[in-house]
Amino acid sequence: MTAETDTQTTTVYRVTGMTCGHCEGAVTSEIAALPGVTSVKAVAASGEVTVVSAAPLADEDVRAAVDEAGYELAGRV
């Protein structure tokens, strides 16, 4: 899912392998480091990661960040 406003884009991704708060923090930290990202909320219980950014992000950039954290990007919700 992707929603755009005049100034921000919100995208929800599904990430597999997250099981706890530490997992959420690792994924959040890596994605937050991407240029233009203003907010990240990872929820291990649902596997969903909501990302707010100044412009749409390239899926391959998000995938690389999630991989760096040690998890797998399953795609957009």
Q: pLDDT by residue (tens digit) across 17-27? A: 999 999 999 99
Q: pLDDT by residue (tens digit) across 34-58? A: 999 999 999 999 999 999 999 999 9
- Identify the pLDDT of residue 4: 64
- Identify the pLDDT of residue 5: 62
Taking 90 as the threshold, does the pLDDT of residue 2 lie above it?
Answer: no
- Other C-beta atoms lying within 10 Å of the C-beta of residue 31: 25
For the chain, list the domains and their CATH numbers.
Answer: 17-72 (3.30.70.100)
Which residue has 């959040």 as its token pair?
28
Q: The pTM is what?
A: 0.92
